[in-house]
Amino acid sequence: MYQTVRRAGKRYIVSKVNGSTNSTNNHTNDAAVTQNFKQQIKPISLIDGITRNSLFAKRTLTSSATPSNLLENVRSCYFCKQQQPHRISRKFLHTVSNGTLLQPHEIEETLTEQSIKFEKGFTGYLVDSTCCVDSSIFINQRTGESTCRSCGVKQSWEEFLKEKTEGRQSQDGIKGTLETFIRVGGENSLWESSVDVSEINAPESPIYFETFRHFDIRLAPDHTIVYPYYDVSKSKVVKCVSHGNEKRIIEIMNTSHESLFGWNTISPADKTLILTTTELDAMSVFHVTGLPSLSISSTEISLHPDLFPFLEQFNKIVLWFPSTYREQESLQNFSRKLDLKRCWKVQCNDSPFSLLEKQQSSEISDSISTSKHMSHDRILTFKDLRSDLFNELMNAKMNAGVPFTRFPALNEYLKGHRRGELTVFTGATGSGKTTFLSELSLDLCLQGVKTLWGSFEIRNVRLLNTLMHQFAGFAVEKHMDKFMKWSENFESLPLYFMSYYGAQDLQDVINTIEYSVYMHDIEHVIVDNLQFMTSTSYSSSDDRFQVMDRSIAAFRRCASDLNIHITVVVHPRKENDGGSLQTASIYGSAKASQEADNVLILQTSDQLSMQITKNRFCGTVGMLPLSFHPDSLCLSGFHRNVETEEEILPALRIRRPVSNVKIYRKNNNDNK
């Protein structure tokens, strides 16, 4: 079976329900399977309430069920347990390209010089399409990448200009990403063997069925509900298959970023959009309000630039994201990408689907109508900030950031990992700074924090060696028979690496960070280490301090402007061996510790421990003991039983955190 697609990637969210492990990849006769499925589905009962078909464990619906109850039953198949999806995709672990973002005025000047008529949009420019009649090409204003809004052909900025200057010879000459007749095997047969809800015998259907038909939801014979995703030309490229308490993603061939759930329901005349993070939220909004609603992938809160052509037609975009810390921080970044002037955010803490569950449909409409505009004036009053203050006080623990799970005691000090901060990390040579940071970054990656590593002192392969040990929890080289399994799981982490090694120009590193944030929504950047990165950028000792100061200032600006967390490793001064390091031990001038929000010191003089000497968020400082495990290379003491795969994380006794820095310093002086 062949299918015409616009991208080579297909993404599925597959799950298991009631212990069933039916394969969806080996349907030998799609027509026979479909017919058999239709025949064995019993007519939907309209009397006895919600029942389940015993053969396929499908939800059947009745007229006595309310719309909210009906959606609740679907949720019991899809979201009944809110656990982190188990990712097995191969889309993350890779090296970030050293791309450079363009400035909008550069694109405008080039288009004008080439006598190309263009229309300025929110996130790019629209020009007449040369490959499709009565269509336009969208040009991203930061990358220059062009996308035909009709057929989906993509070109780089250089390819686009070359085509315009040299002229097109043939359609086959386009080096875009248009690929036709891609064989998708069993994954295609899954869609072919599924049936539309309208094909199930039911004399009557509540509004709930109409909503599912509107979004082209289908039922498959393998105990799954199939959610279709569409590309910019409304060709089906992604099908999310969801059911049960487990959920996983399978990547077929290359990854496709440019797909949204609900795009098939959008018309060119629509100018207002509600953007959600789950399929059920999008359907709930449409069910109550009738407004155009789309959903990005519910397993990856990310807004790739490939999605911008979808959203260019909308003058108003209302973002309804979960009220958790990471999603709200993502909302801020998405708004900047999409243009603050056209973005609103819903301030309701409940999701549309949860409101529908509570039979509070009117709250959905009210929340949208009272959404807050993201664009602020430069001068604010308390009235402008009151709702934000209320939310921060009501959700103080959540707003403290992403908690640490490998180092739970660290939450007593830092409270969590937050965007927009700069952390300076130091420790004696060979004390384990990279080992600690690799485990800390792994801890955050396991919670979905997209991390970019800039390792200038050791090569990426060596760093991956440490990360793999810490992820598996045992000495991988002693159990190579388990390597494939753990490497497949490790590959799904949102982990990126700079391709740099050795000394690099500061501006090149900054450009790479900006590019990765724009393209991949990076949240955490690690620079290891500052001295090695800038080792060839100065000619004298005075220049050395100036270069390091400029680097710290640049990273500080990056953290604030891009709303990301940057961790910079700085070696200490050469001091007498055996003594404890202090904040003043950080190499260079005092600028590093002054600019930093957090200062962490890895101490080895007495016992292996992590000392927090500066904490701008809450002021809590103190000492955190560490425990090194030689097999897993974890400083948290984490390790795993190789046979049973049981995770073991020892409880480390912490010294009582000191909330006041002055008291901490006084106690230290008294002990001397």
79 alpha-carbon distance from chain centroid: 19
Helix (H, G, I), strand (E, B) or coil at 111: helix
Which helix (H) or strand (E) segment holds residue 524: the answer is strand 524-528
Report, as an integer, the average pLDDT of 32-37: 46
Q: What is the pLDDT of residue 469?
A: 96
Report the range of poorest mean pLDDT among 422-431, 441-450, 517-526, 542-551.
542-551
420 alpha-carbon distance from chain centroid: 17
Structural domain total, the chain: 2
Confidence of residue 164 (pLDDT cuts 50, 70, 90): confident
605 lies in which domain range?
Answer: 408-648
Q: What is the pLDDT of residue 663?
A: 53
Q: Using alpha carbons, select from 140, 171, 168 the residue that is nearest to residue 156.
A: 140
Look at residue 527 and tell me if it is in a domain: yes
Q: What is the pLDDT of residue 74?
A: 44
pLDDT tens, residue by residue, 571-591: 998 766 667 898 988 987 788
Report, as an integer, the average pLDDT of 534-556: 80
Look at residue 328 and tell me if it is in a domain: no
Look at residue 537 and tell me if it is in a domain: yes
Report, as an integer, the average pLDDT of 231-249: 55
Separation of alpha carbons 336 and 304, rounded Å: 13
Q: Pairing between strand 94-96 and 495-498?
A: parallel
Residue, of 190 and 21, whose pLDDT is higher:
190
pLDDT tens, residue by residue, 433-468: 999 999 999 999 999 999 999 999 899 999 999 999
Separation of alpha carbons 326 and 303, rounded Å: 14
Q: What is the pLDDT of residue 417?
A: 96
Confidence of residue 196 (pLDDT cuts 50, 70, 90): confident
Separation of alpha carbons 351 and 349, rounded Å: 7
pLDDT greater than 50 at residue 38 = no
CA of 382: how far to CAs of 344, 373, 388, 533, 628, in Å?
19, 16, 10, 43, 49
Which helix (H) or strand (E) segment holds residue 317: the answer is strand 316-319
Q: Are 41 and 270 in contact (CB under 8 A)?
A: no
Residue, of 421 and 149, whose pLDDT is higher:
421
Amino acid identity of residue 302, one-letter, is: S
Separation of alpha carbons 431 and 598, rounded Å: 19
Q: What is the pLDDT of residue 669?
A: 59
Q: What is the pLDDT of residue 276?
A: 93
Q: What is the pLDDT of residue 597?
A: 96
pLDDT greater than 60 at residue 606 = yes
pLDDT tens, residue by residue, 69-101: 444 444 443 332 333 333 333 345 556 656 678
Q: What share of residues in the chain are helix, strand, coil (percent, to 5)?
A: 35, 20, 45
Q: What is the model's pTM?
A: 0.75
CB within 8 Å of 562: residues ≥ 6 apart: 513, 514, 517
Look at residue 121 and tell me if it is in a domain: yes
Q: What is the pLDDT of residue 95?
A: 64
Look at residue 313 and tell me if it is in a domain: no
To the nearest whole number, what is the mean pLDDT of the chain? 76
Q: What is the pLDDT of residue 658?
A: 59
CATH number for 438: 3.40.50.300
pLDDT greater than 50 at residue 511 = yes
Which helix (H) or strand (E) segment holds residue 318: the answer is strand 316-319
Q: What is the pLDDT of residue 267?
A: 92
Q: What is the pLDDT of residue 381?
A: 81
Q: Are 67 and 51 in contact (CB under 8 A)?
A: no
Look at residue 72 and tell me if it is in a domain: no
Separation of alpha carbons 495 and 51, rounded Å: 44
Q: What is the pLDDT of residue 374?
A: 85
6 alpha-carbon distance from chain centroid: 23
pLDDT greater than 60 at residue 4 = no
pLDDT greater than 80 at residue 245 = no
Look at residue 83 and tell me if it is in a domain: no
Percent of the chain at pLDDT > 70 equals 70
Q: What is the pLDDT of residue 91?
A: 44
Q: What is the pLDDT of residue 189?
A: 57
Q: Name the domain boundary from 162, 179, 197.
A: 162
pLDDT tens, residue by residue, 385-420: 887 788 788 878 888 899 999 999 999 999 999 999
Longest CA–CA span in the chain (Å) reads 86
Look at residue 541 and tell me if it is in a domain: yes
